[in-house]
Structure 1
Amino acid sequence: MPTLSWPYALEADATPPTDADRLLLWLVRRQWRTIVAGAAFGIPWMLSIALVPASIGKAIDDGIVARDGRALLFWAGVILAMGLVSAATTNLRHWFAVSNWLFASFRSAIVTDRAIRRTGPALTREKPAGEVLTAYANDFWRMGMVFDVSARFAGAIASFTVVSIILLSGSLTLGLVMLIGGPLLLASLSLVMRPLQKRQAAQREEAGRLTALGADTVTGLRVLRGVGGEENFLTRYAGQSGRVRSAGVRLAGVQAVLDAAQVLLPGVFVVVVTGLGAHLAVAGDISPGQLVAFYGYTAFLTMPLRTATEFVNKLITSRVMAKRVASILEAQPDHPKTATDCPVGTASASELSQPGNQSRDRGSGVLTDPVSGVQIQPGELTALVSARPEETAEIAARLGRTVPGRHGVTWGDASLDDLPIDVVRANIVVSEADPHLFSGPLRRELGVPTGDDEALLAALHTADAADVIDSIDGGLDGEIEERGRSLSGGQRQRLALTRALLRDPAVLVLVEPTSAVDAHTEARIAERIPKHRNGSTTVIVTASPLVLDRADRILVVEDGKVTTHGTHRDLVRNNPAYRRIVLRGEED
């Protein structure tokens, strides 16, 4: 099925700035066409409304007062035309306003998602997971709010300018009141804007902490229950919830002042201009039609003035949200990509990064961990055994570069520390002991290649997982719940093994792949893995005799170092330490 390209998506190498204001301008540059189009319809929309009072004034003076029927009909037609223009442009202006909001929000979500994926676990070491979740789920769409009002703001500026010129031509006094009073009203709002921005940022900070607390608690819910810590959590959550409420109340007070000012200040302005206009009409300086028109202008002016204050309000909100997103964008991963093409065996890093190049002949180099002395020979099934499983699990993590830091692990002539992380991930896959399954269709979770039923059937057979597929409503197209909680531990483990086998990497590292299954299932899996991975480099961290008996070579690890190696039967016969680890008290 062909991939559909959205014309407003971001290019893969787009690099957003990590400053809030520059980030907003960066988004503006990428959608300037729709912003200009919105303004192109926003200006005539508001101008058509602004010029209605002038048309009414002309109809009164030239038609009613002068008793000219044709003039009256003409200006009535002009008023009708203004209404039609307003009706037509308001729909298109609204369409572009919503488009601007959605484009800015969606692109903010894209760059945030890319930053989270690029940074990986390093991000949650700098920021709580709940804070990241709040930024991704809430902040990005609020960043688009200022883009939504941009079309109306352009119309507000244009209409305010035009009305001021009309008033100047009719009365210098009223024109000056408009030109000076309008900007002064907006400037007075700065007294509210600064505390509003501070309180919005404070309220957002407290809300992020509350989400982080909730996320941390959900992660450790079983531990809390086990130690009886529910009451302590409830106390902490109630306290943080109270702080969020207090921050919201403080914010609401300033927001209420701004909302009231949006109505009060234009209202005061209307009263002043109407009073001056009435005084000038009584003095005979302006005509009755002009008086009606001036009153219409003052009533209309509430619209551009309120739009201007709304723009400033949403600009503040967008800047606050942009700062939160920018803080995610500036986070650095543990293993930044490099542009160096490093050889791995006979292949370069750039070659390995191409889809489809993770073939089995790419694993021709020896995988070496200098910290432990582990050497994984290409094309073999190697097992790691230790009395302390965390030791061998740590070695497996280093081999797959899934832990931060530089460890000197080499693969052939290349250092994993110098290879781009995506190249390592494409060629060395580590399937951990506690596999993570996400909610959604099972086919997507397993990463089943499109149309490759042969590979799927082979992986399911090796993992002895066909019955797991049958137990799910809808089979491969059925939905699994978050973390696969509707499945047993053994079922989750077999699906994770299936997923790892389907990747068919050059090097596959399996950490305790059969610890949650029964002995009969374990025997079948142990027999099938060597056949499935025949000729490929495979590492298994395990203490199961059934699996170890199938390994080409076993490395025994003590105190983090390899102390001996051999086959399962030789080590059982000649190495007491290995016997104690593997037989687990079954010795005579």
Structure 2
Amino acid sequence: MRELTGGRLLRRSLARHRGRLLGGAVLVCGHQVAEALVPVMIGVIIDRAVGTGDLPALVWWVLALCALFGALTVCWRVGTRHLVVAEQREAHQLRVEVVERVLDPRGHRTGMRAGEVLQVATSDAERSAEVVHGVSLGAAALVALAVSATALLTVDVPLGLTVVVGVPVLVAGLQLLSPLLTRRSTAAQESAGETTALATDLVRGVRALRGIGAQDNAAETYRASSRGTLRASLRAATTNGVYLGITTAASGLFLAVVAGFAGWIALAGRITVGELVAVVGLAQFVAEPVRLLGTAGQLLARARASAARLARVLTAPAVLSPGTRTEVLAAGVALRGVGYRTLDGLDLELGPGETVGVVAYDQRDSDALLELLAGAVPATDHTGRVEVGGVPVGELDLDTVRAAVLVEQHDVALFEGTLRDNLLAGAERPPEAVTAAVAAAAADDILAAHPDGLDRSVTDRGTTLSGGQRQRIGLARALAADPSVLVLYEPTTAVDTVTEERIAEGIARVRAHASTLLVTASPALLAVADRVLVLDGGRVTASGTHADLAQSDPRYRAAVLR
């Protein structure tokens, strides 16, 4: 199968809506044909009814003209409806494709930040779908020009040849600006995507920025990025304006030439008054399809630029290449001689039903360990073996890995809905299991403090909750999931000491039957661990219970005791 490019994506968009596109294009072309026939019919009325004083003929011709206007109105309304439906459906399908690609558990290597991907999924999807509109407008404009040229050739061959030769030259000249339009549109879209990504990052970290007093620097960074986006947008808008201006001026000049030539041959007696009116009307009408060609060129240029960005996301290689095995041999995880980032020959084993604490003197070791346990690192990016239930991770299906090992990150992500929605996360769980998880996470007071309890509303990212409340709800969700292996990373940093003790007891109680890895420096959590591993320099340098290590290792004691 050939790689999806921007051009192939646009052709695919046209192909999968070919029914509506064809029907809409035919009707819009019919509208343009009817528009072109209006001045022709007026000329016929002048010659055959007005000039001859034939009243019955005048009545019939006026009725025919009314029917023509009715036909062009119906063609336009029905045709554009088909095209708008096709365009909106294509935009929707493209958005769904981008979201599916972004949510692919294998990950993706687009090189784009979240805000840029959001820009692709919204603005670029809409602009790429405009290819439906652009192609139909271009086809309608060409049909209108063909009908106009035919009519003019019928009236006078030299006059018709002027249009037949002049219009293609005019259109070809206008298309010389198309590559520039595409480049400017691409630059504007990329700049807008970068600014959107920066805004997304700043909104996420606004509290941290305020905490360290960096909000002014952050605002200036965004201001500079926004100014760059403004300049790129203005360049694109200027190019579009120049393009439209040249199109309008060229079509107007062409109209003047055709009308002047028609007037000259009318004075010479080569055409009748009615034919002169028809020629002048057609010459004036020709400006409309030329303008439509210009608009179609703009739409197609923007569509090409956006389609290239869409293709970049849709064809981005996956980060992971998972296996196909769906069963593990036993519970637990093991890292054997693993080297990744700052980790250097790390050996770590978590057995069935065991609770192990990990204290890392370098946070980079913790981050690397969590990435490995989350299954987010391709086998080619690390050395050694990472096993889940005795099976190398690379041999297991991703769903199997994620079902067996749950890594609850320090930065809790809550979504808009209710507390119940966030605790269940779309799964069906027994009410008693949820209640036990909430109690273990010391989050029962959050439910009791609100009359709606589990049905209490939560905003996006849980902004209506305090930091400690968010952290406890996230912990309760992880405990309610009850995976065979649960990895918790500093789950109590936003709570007080008393609550931390309750949480430690709750984790020990509800996780007694399963494997739990606590990556933390909390003495309360480490005290409930069966053993504690100390990471230093990317490998395990000490092992023992929390009490033993605190008594025998001064560095450990300084790192964990408060």
TM-score bracket relative to the smaller structure: 0.7 to 0.9
Measured in 2, the distance between the counterparts of 1:93 and 1:470 equals: 59
Is the Cα contact below 8 Å between 2:336 and 2:347 reproduced in 1? yes
1:333, distance to aligned residue in structure 2 (A): 3.7
Measured in 1, the distance between the counterparts of 2:350 and 2:101 equals: 34
Cα distance per residue 1:39-63 (max 9 Å; x no partner)? 1321222222222222222222222
Measured in 2, the distance between the counterparts of 1:67 and 1:85 equals: 28
1:234, distance to aligned residue in structure 2 (A): 5.5
Query: Residues 445 and 298 of structure 1: is their aligned pair in 2 closer, same or farther, counting only changes over 3 Å?
Result: farther
Is the Cα contact below 8 Å between 2:523 and 2:561 reproduced in 1? no
Pairing 1:301–2:275 present: no
Measured in 2, the distance between the counterparts of 1:177 and 1:218 equals: 60
Q: Which residue of 1 aligns with 2:314?
A: 329
1:66, distance to aligned residue in structure 2 (A): 3.2
User: Quick check: 95-104 or 363-372, which moved more?
Assistant: 363-372
Measured in 1, the distance between the counterparts of 2:240 and 2:559 equals: 68
1:387, distance to aligned residue in structure 2 (A): 5.2
Is the Cα contact below 8 Å between 1:393 and 1:511 reproduced in 2? no
Query: Residues 502 and 73 of structure 1: is their aligned pair in 2 closer, same or farther, counting only changes over 3 Å?
Result: farther
Q: Which residue of 1 aligns with 2:88?
A: 102
1:561, distance to aligned residue in structure 2 (A): 3.2
Measured in 2, the distance between the counterparts of 1:287 and 1:199 equals: 49
1:139, distance to aligned residue in structure 2 (A): 2.2
Q: Which residue of 2 aligns with 1:406?
A: 382
Pairing 1:486–2:464 present: yes
Q: Which residue of 2 aligns with 1:78?
A: 64
Cα distance per residue 1:220-277 (max 9 Å; x no partner)? 5566656665565555555444444444444343322212223222222222222222
1:295, distance to aligned residue in structure 2 (A): 2.2
Q: Which residue of 1 aligns with 2:143?
A: 158
Is the Cα contact below 8 Å between 1:385 and 1:557 reproduced in 2? yes
Query: Residues 464 and 560 of structure 1: is their aligned pair in 2 closer, same or farther, counting only changes over 3 Å?
Result: same
Pairing 1:26–2:12 present: yes
Query: Residues 189 and 576 of structure 1: is their aligned pair in 2 closer, same or farther, counting only changes over 3 Å?
Result: closer
Q: Secondary structure of 2:103's partner?
A: helix
Q: Secondary structure of 2:151's partner?
A: helix
Q: Which residue of 2 aligns with 1:276?
A: 261
Pairing 1:88–2:65 present: no
Equivalent in 351, 354, 374 of residue 380 of structure 1: 354
Q: Which residue of 1 aligns with 2:174?
A: 189
Aligned pairs for 1:488-503 (under 5 A) are 488-503=466-481
Aligned pairs for 1:493-532 (under 5 A) are 493-532=471-510
1:566, distance to aligned residue in structure 2 (A): 5.3
Q: Which residue of 2 aligns with 1:64?
A: 50
Pairing 1:48–2:41 present: no
Q: Secondary structure of 2:177's partner?
A: helix
User: Quick check: 391-400 or 222-231, which moved more?
Assistant: 222-231
Measured in 2, the distance between the counterparts of 1:254 and 1:545 equals: 64
Measured in 1, the distance between the counterparts of 2:104 and 2:204 equals: 23
1:506, distance to aligned residue in structure 2 (A): 3.0
Pairing 1:341–2:301 present: no
Pairing 1:542–2:509 present: no
Measured in 2, the distance between the counterparts of 1:393 and 1:251 equals: 42
Measured in 1, the distance between the counterparts of 2:143 and 2:231 equals: 40
Q: Secondary structure of 1:292's partner?
A: helix
Measured in 2, the distance between the counterparts of 1:243 and 1:389 equals: 36
Measured in 2, the distance between the counterparts of 1:203 and 1:68 equals: 61
Measured in 2, the distance between the counterparts of 1:536 and 1:39 equals: 63
Normalised by the length of structure 2, the TM-score is 0.86
Q: Which residue of 2 aligns with 1:370?
A: 337
Equivalent in 415, 427, 438 of residue 392 of structure 2: 415
Is the Cα contact below 8 Å between 1:167 and 1:294 reproduced in 2? yes
Structure 2's unaligned 5+ residue stretches are 339-345
Query: Residues 42 and 445 of structure 1: is their aligned pair in 2 closer, same or farther, counting only changes over 3 Å?
Result: farther
Pairing 1:457–2:415 present: no
Query: Residues 160 and 477 of structure 1: is their aligned pair in 2 closer, same or farther, counting only changes over 3 Å?
Result: farther
Normalised by the length of structure 1, the TM-score is 0.83
Query: Residues 382 and 248 of structure 1: is their aligned pair in 2 closer, same or farther, counting only changes over 3 Å?
Result: closer
Q: Which residue of 1 aligns with 2:153?
A: 168
Query: Residues 433 and 228 of structure 1: is their aligned pair in 2 closer, same or farther, counting only changes over 3 Å?
Result: closer
Query: Residues 564 and 227 of structure 1: is their aligned pair in 2 closer, same or farther, counting only changes over 3 Å?
Result: closer
Equivalent in 38, 41, 48 of residue 24 of structure 2: 38
1:474, distance to aligned residue in structure 2 (A): 5.1
1:198, distance to aligned residue in structure 2 (A): 2.9
Is the Cα contact below 8 Å between 2:356 and 2:532 reproduced in 1? yes
Equivalent in 406, 412, 415 of residue 435 of structure 1: 412
2:503 is matched by which residue type in structure 1? I
2:475 is matched by which residue type in structure 1? L
Query: Residues 535 and 231 of structure 1: is their aligned pair in 2 closer, same or farther, counting only changes over 3 Å?
Result: closer
Q: Which residue of 1 aligns with 2:342?
A: none
1:315, distance to aligned residue in structure 2 (A): 0.6
Is the Cα contact below 8 Å between 1:406 and 1:417 reproduced in 2? no
Measured in 1, the distance between the counterparts of 2:491 and 2:197 equals: 32
Query: Residues 420 and 30 of structure 1: is their aligned pair in 2 closer, same or farther, counting only changes over 3 Å?
Result: farther
Is the Cα contact below 8 Å between 1:543 and 1:581 reproduced in 2? no
Is the Cα contact below 8 Å between 1:53 and 1:296 reproduced in 2? yes
Q: Which residue of 1 aligns with 2:304?
A: 319
Cα distance per residue 1:51-96 (max 9 Å; x no partner)? 2222222222222233333332322222121122122222212212
Q: Which residue of 2 aligns with 1:147?
A: 132
Q: Secondary structure of 2:394's partner?
A: coil
Percent of aligned pairs sharing the same letter:
32
1:376 is matched by which residue type in structure 2? L
